[in-house]
Chain A
Amino acid sequence: MAEMTVIEAVREALREEMERDPAVFTLGEDIGARGGVFLATEGLIEQFGAERVIDTPLAEASIGGVALGAAVNGMRPVAEIEFGDFIWPAVNQVIGEAARVRYGTQGRRSAPLVLRVPYGGGVRGGLFHSQSIEVAFAHQPGLKVIAPSTPYDAKGLLKSAVRDDDPVIFFEHKRTYRLVKGDVPNGDYTIPIGQADVKRAGSDMTVVSYGLVMHYCLEAAAALAEEGVDVEVVDLRTLRPLDTDTVLESVRKTSKAMVVHEDTKAIGIGGEIAAVIADEAFEDLDAPVKRVAGPEVPAMPFSPLLEAEFMPSAEKIATAMRELAAY
């Protein structure tokens, strides 16, 4: 067991998977000598060489397309999209093509690729280095979408993603990279895709979240505990397929539910979770399902007060928790 950051956990998972399986390789912008703009691939080119750590041109469509072709032909590519904001040229290859390979060939081909995507804000990234884009991918059957919040989950889930036989989009929140530390077992372990994790057990309400703001939910829950409100925090970890069982089990216990995400609210993950709860656990509810999410502006602004206005915070979440507790 060692304490490490999220970025160290990602790097260790990559290194161990590349050591384990010669079919695993990585490609992306600045991932070689530079080690990636966030240093996720630092040291990998020295260990595995330029043939398995491929610096690509600045061309996301071909990063996605080349990874897809290699995956269909028996390799296990892990492509890095430098910032989630830059992913759109690759969407044609990922949502348009990779998600449909297995279905469109009746299983004659598959696409076991991983796209690692640093996303999210709170890093003074402005409109084009802060986006939360996970819902666009989570909407697409055929893809698996993962968004871990801790070093332990990041390592175990990235290993599962590499070994999975379907295309996986792996969202890494940039602000968690160095902010979030935690214990990670030495050596090999995996965490199953599609399983949520109860990060804090509680009896008075269920808060469903993922990524950076899951940590803000834990902070808010600690504050509420001092006020006598016992909050359960469910970390989704995987956005497709959703672990609705864990969510519903928690809601049936607490009878109150809230969803928190950094992405904007309308037509979002929170709406989906609320709908699932309404469908399956309506009679267990003592209050309407509450949502705390990003505001309806196109993206997170740059200047600090404007950025703070966008970001969900522990304070905003705690306020919502108090409202829900009082309902």
Chain B
Amino acid sequence: MLSEQTSPNNPEKNSRPAGSAENDAGPPTLNDNDLLEMYRTMVLSRVLDQRIWQMNRQGRAAIVASAQGHEAAQVGAIRALDPERDRFYIYYRELTTMLALGITPLELLLGFLAKDGEPLSGARQFPLHGAIDRQRCDIVSFSNVVATQLPQAVGVALADKMRGEKRVTVAYFGDGASSMGETHEAMNFAAIHRLPVIFFCENNKYAISVPLAQQMNIESVATRATAYGIPGIEVNGFDPVAVYEAVGAAANRALAGEGPTLVEAVVERFLPHTSDDDDTRYRPAEDLEGIRDLDPIPATEKLLRASGALDDALDQEIKSAAQKIVNQATEDAENAPFPEPHDFYDQVYAPGSPGDQS
């Protein structure tokens, strides 16, 4: 239903296969209620993201890598996956992914304010880094070092395959990480062993300050898939339904034992790389002109209104609910204490094992 939307990268197309998929079976078609739910998550993510950015400018949040512009891609991908079955090796720009997987705004704000009770690392790490309790959801984000999660995700999928478990591991990365040698090694290994992995690239066209043309001599990261003998799909990352369909087809392939897929969601980075970056130093103003007109959140709102699934009252309710949730979470996170260093030496090594100092 969102096929009228245009890709920010290429107005003529929404998705384009670079390699050929053996199994083109897509996921079930989404209805208006599904899309409405995705819209709610996108709105919540945007409101939360804006709040965190604001708190950074007020000196209350040390660092943020904004997901603004990535929301549709992230919510579309998660819609095609199973949070209980699948495994998520994310990177630092995944606020919407976290919300879509059920991590709460308060939990996320505890991370951005480095407060006690932060659920990924106890605030030992940067926001959005560490791991969620496995029983709850297998979300892992060990590192700030780009592309390290790709071979790890491949090893995770290898373990599932060895045990005969039917799960999909999704390795998230950006266009910047696509230049790393580990990205090549990971895709090559996964392809050789036909592992159930989705390589999900959110291409926002900038590696901090370096534009795509200086990162690669090709137009699309997805075309690299042919070098590994796997399908590569470029999809409009402003179209949540197109992303859902591409990721759903990739998940079906993975579960059918047909191996990995590279899905490239082309998005835009609405804000600088992080709160410590100044994109006016390298990004021409005209680069962002017109792009905000394609913002997937108002575009989805428009579509939902056109189909009659959304009216003024419901839209108002969704937006004020998001504000209310984020306001409450902000207050609660502000009131939470910083972690004391009482467990500073815990978990260097396994409790009781040689070297344990806890």
- Chain A residues proximal to chain B, CB less than 8 Å: 25, 51-52, 56-57, 59, 61-62, 64-75, 77, 89, 92-93, 96-97, 100-110, 141-142, 144, 164-166, 192-194, 238, 240-241
Beta-carbon contact of B148 and A102 below 8 Å: no
Question: Smallest Cβ distance from A168 to chain B, in angstroms?
Answer: 10
Report which of A66, A100, A107 forms a contact with B155, defined as CB distance below 8 A.
A66
Beta-carbon contact of B353 and A165 below 8 Å: yes
CA distance A169 to B185 in the complex (A): 22
10 closest residue pairs by CB, A with B: A69-B155, A65-B151, A194-B354, A62-B185, A69-B152, A241-B355, A66-B155, A73-B159, A165-B350, A107-B347
Question: Smallest Cβ distance from B148 to chain A, in angstroms?
Answer: 5
Beta-carbon contact of A108 and B130 below 8 Å: yes
Q: Cβ of A241: which chain B residues have Cβ within 8 Å of it?
A: 354-355
Beta-carbon contact of A66 and B189 below 8 Å: yes
Beta-carbon contact of A105 and B87 below 8 Å: no
- Chain B residues touching A, majority SS: mixed
CA distance A286 to B104 in the complex (A): 64
Beta-carbon contact of A97 and B143 below 8 Å: yes
CA distance A194 to B125 in the complex (A): 29
CA distance A158 to B288 in the complex (A): 57
Q: For B118, give the chain A residue with the smallest CB separation.
A: A106
Question: Smallest Cβ distance from B121 to chain A, in angstroms?
Answer: 6
- Chain B residues proximal to chain A, CB less than 8 Å: 87, 89, 120-122, 124-125, 129-134, 140, 142-143, 145, 148, 150-160, 162-163, 181-182, 185-186, 188-189, 192, 343, 346-351, 353-355
Beta-carbon contact of A62 and B182 below 8 Å: yes
Q: Cβ of B185: which chain A residues have Cβ within 8 Å of it?
A: 57, 59, 61-62, 65
Beta-carbon contact of A96 and B148 below 8 Å: yes
Additional A-B contacts beyond A57-B189, A92-B148 (9; CB < 8 A): A57-B188, A62-B182, A69-B156, A73-B159, A74-B163, A104-B121, A105-B142, A108-B131, A109-B142
Beta-carbon contact of A62 and B148 below 8 Å: no
Q: Cβ of A166: which chain B residues have Cβ within 8 Å of it?
A: 349-350, 353, 355
- Say yes or no: A104-B145 contact (C-beta < 8 A), given A57-B189, A92-B182, A192-B354: no
Q: Cβ of B134: which chain A residues have Cβ within 8 Å of it?
A: 108-109
Report which of A72, A93, A100 forms a contact with B156, defined as CB distance below 8 A.
A72
Between A and B, 21 residue pairs with Cβ closer than 8 Å are: A57-B188, A57-B192, A62-B186, A65-B148, A65-B182, A66-B152, A68-B151, A69-B158, A70-B155, A70-B156, A104-B124, A104-B125, A105-B120, A105-B131, A105-B140, A108-B130, A109-B134, A110-B350, A144-B354, A166-B353, A240-B355
Question: Smallest Cβ distance from A69 to chain B, in angstroms?
Answer: 2
Beta-carbon contact of A93 and B148 below 8 Å: yes
CA distance A92 to B143 in the complex (A): 11
Beta-carbon contact of B160 and A73 below 8 Å: yes
Beta-carbon contact of B155 and A68 below 8 Å: yes
Q: For B189, give the chain A residue with the smallest CB separation.
A: A62
Q: Cβ of A107: which chain B residues have Cβ within 8 Å of it?
A: 346-347, 351
CA distance A3 to B37 in the complex (A): 69
Q: Cβ of B158: which chain A residues have Cβ within 8 Å of it?
A: 66, 69-70, 75
CA distance A96 to B351 in the complex (A): 22
Beta-carbon contact of B347 and A102 below 8 Å: yes
Beta-carbon contact of B143 and A96 below 8 Å: yes
Beta-carbon contact of B148 and A109 below 8 Å: no
CA distance A67 to B152 in the complex (A): 7
Question: Smallest Cβ distance from A32 to chain B, in angstroms?
Answer: 13
CA distance A25 to B158 in the complex (A): 11
Beta-carbon contact of B350 and A101 below 8 Å: no
Q: Cβ of A66: which chain B residues have Cβ within 8 Å of it?
A: 151-152, 154-155, 158, 189
Beta-carbon contact of B354 and A72 below 8 Å: no
CA distance A177 to B133 in the complex (A): 43
Beta-carbon contact of A105 and B121 below 8 Å: yes
Beta-carbon contact of B121 and A142 below 8 Å: no
Q: For A242, give the chain B residue with the smallest CB separation.
A: B355
CA distance A121 to B343 in the complex (A): 42
Q: Cβ of A68: which chain B residues have Cβ within 8 Å of it?
A: 151-152, 155
Q: Cβ of A77: which chain B residues have Cβ within 8 Å of it?
A: 155
Q: Cβ of B131: which chain A residues have Cβ within 8 Å of it?
A: 105, 108-109
CA distance A176 to B158 in the complex (A): 34
Beta-carbon contact of A65 and B159 below 8 Å: no
Q: For A101, give the chain B residue with the smallest CB separation.
A: B142
Beta-carbon contact of B151 and A64 below 8 Å: yes
- Say yes or no: A59-B353 contact (C-beta < 8 A), given A69-B151, A70-B155, A109-B140: no
Question: Smallest Cβ distance from A176 to chain B, in angstroms?
Answer: 23
CA distance A133 to B107 in the complex (A): 42
Q: Cβ of A164: which chain B residues have Cβ within 8 Å of it?
A: 350, 353-354
CA distance A141 to B131 in the complex (A): 20
CA distance A106 to B351 in the complex (A): 12
Report which of A74, A96, A105 forms a contact with B130, defined as CB distance below 8 A.
A105
Beta-carbon contact of B186 and A65 below 8 Å: yes
Q: Cβ of A105: which chain B residues have Cβ within 8 Å of it?
A: 120-121, 130-131, 140, 142, 347
Q: For B87, give the chain A residue with the smallest CB separation.
A: A73
CA distance A89 to B351 in the complex (A): 30
Question: Smallest Cβ distance from A35 to chain B, in angstroms?
Answer: 21
CA distance A142 to B130 in the complex (A): 15
Q: Cβ of A238: which chain B residues have Cβ within 8 Å of it?
A: 354
Q: Cβ of A141: which chain B residues have Cβ within 8 Å of it?
A: 348
Q: Cβ of B182: which chain A residues have Cβ within 8 Å of it?
A: 61-62, 65, 92-93
Beta-carbon contact of B354 and A193 below 8 Å: yes
CA distance A238 to B349 in the complex (A): 15
Q: For A51, give the chain B residue with the smallest CB separation.
A: B162
Question: Smallest Cβ distance from B243 to chain A, in angstroms?
Answer: 25
Q: Cβ of A165: which chain B residues have Cβ within 8 Å of it?
A: 350, 353
Question: Smallest Cβ distance from A232 to chain B, in angstroms?
Answer: 23
Q: For B155, give the chain A residue with the smallest CB separation.
A: A69
Beta-carbon contact of A103 and B347 below 8 Å: yes
Q: Cβ of A61: which chain B residues have Cβ within 8 Å of it?
A: 151, 181-182, 185
Question: Smallest Cβ distance from B150 to chain A, in angstroms?
Answer: 7
